[in-house]
Amino acid sequence: MLTRRALAELSRAHENQLVLSVYIGRDGVDPGARGAWRLHLQRSLEAIRSELAGGSSDRAPFDRAAVFVEQAVRDFGRVLPHQGWAGFATADGLFHAEGLPFAPRDLVRWRQGIYAAPYVRALKSARPVVLALREAEGVAVRLRFRRA
């Protein structure tokens, strides 16, 4: 995951650009729901396209950004390989994408600058905790992530 500083730098670097911000969460354990993340993504992209259909000059850049996002997740199966996924794209390309150790709410936004609020919330909840166990045989150090 990005650090707060890296997220802030990424945000500043793209604050004056139209950015497609995408957050996808892994579907539940229900086998019938597997692959629903892809349907949610397609529906969200189509909803934005229909909003931009009224002759907006943002439509062509949005379509190019959407293609970059779709290419990034094309090889994922019906189940995401991580708990979640986040990606940020402009008309010029995908500038950040990563698997996430948490399942965010499915969210797609097209706006000026990165939509970082879900990522910031995740940073708060994925705080590392170091635990040292001392036993007769030695010491074990374990790193855990806890939810706040």
Q: What is the pLDDT of residue 53?
A: 81
CA distance 4 to 10: 10
Q: What is the pLDDT of residue 131?
A: 57
Q: What is the pLDDT of residue 55?
A: 67
* Dihedral pair phi/psi, residue 5, rounded to 5°: -65, -45
Q: Which amino acid is at 33?
A: A
Strands of the sheet with 107-112, listed across from one edge: 93-100, 84-90, 18-25, 107-112
Measured in whole angstroms, the distance separating CA 46 from the mean position of its chain's CA atoms is 18
- Name the CA radius of gyration of the chain, rounded: 18
Q: How many domains does the chain have?
A: 1
CA distance 12 to 34: 36
SS3 category, 134: strand
Q: What is the secondary structure of 40-77 as a DSSP string? A: HHHHHHHHHHHHHTTT-TTHHHHHHHHHHHHHHHTT--
Q: Report which of 97, 103, 99 is spatially closest to residue 122, judged by C-alpha positions.
A: 103
- Provide the domain limits for residue 17: 4-146
Q: What pTM value is reported for the model?
A: 0.80
Q: What is the pLDDT of residue 23?
A: 96
The CATH number of whichever domain residue 32 belongs to comes to 3.30.960
Q: What is the pLDDT of residue 148?
A: 44
Q: What is the pLDDT of residue 30?
A: 53
Q: Report which of 91, 110, 120 is spatially closest to residue 10, judged by C-alpha positions.
A: 120
Q: What is the pLDDT of residue 78?
A: 82
Tell me the average confidence (pLDDT) per consecutive run of 10 residues in the chain, 148 residues long: 91 97 78 76 95 81 97 89 94 96 91 93 65 62 53
